[in-house]
Amino acid sequence: MAFQKTLSILKPDATRRNITGKINAKIEASNLRIIAQKRLHLSIAQAQAFYAVHAERAFFGELCQFMTSGPVVVQVLEGEEAVAGYRDIMGATNPTNAAEGTIRSEFAESIEANSVHGSDSVENAVKEISFFFSELEIVG
């Protein structure tokens, strides 16, 4: 077991429907602790930079439009095996494939408006956390 940090984003469909607290209740009911948090309205340039790994994908333009369509809440989660653990409680990217009881199964509207993002590896978690947070803002 490894103690890890991961990046979480509560997406514009979650802030629009005022369900960030419900989502965070599920996060906090797991073994994860929210150790940094802020609400932002991303610019197109920021969304493009954050999702640069998907730049060649057909959905990149729509993804960046959606992620800038309203506020997001970015947060750092900490816990044992936080990267995989958060992905487990988020559920599959496409909510139709998300296991019962997961965040996306309960709350996501579509593959795009899927309520939450989580880092897919420890290496990417380090990069994604430093994209949004300075060390001073992370209080474990």
Residues annotated as catalytic (active site), given as ranges:
117
Nearer to ligand CMP, 66 or 133 (CB): 66
Which CB atom, from 122 or from 140, has the smaller least distance to ligand CMP?
A: 122
> Tokens at residue 4, please?
């890890």
Closest distance between ligand CMP and the C-beta of residue 115, in Å? 9
Give every CB contact of residue 40 below 8 A, 6+ residues apart in sequence. 71, 72, 73, 74, 132
Closer residue to ligand CMP, CB minimum distance, 20 or 140: 20
For 15, how many CA atoms within 13 A lie in the half-sphere containing its CB?
17
Residues engaged in binding ligand CMP (CB under 6 A): 54, 59, 63, 93, 111-112, 114, 117
Q: Quote the least distance from Cβ 136 to ligand CMP, whole Å.
A: 26
Q: Least CB distance from residue 78 to ligand CMP, whole Å?
A: 19
Nearest to 26 by CA among 93, 107, 83, 95: 107
**Quick one: DSSP state of residue 92?**
-
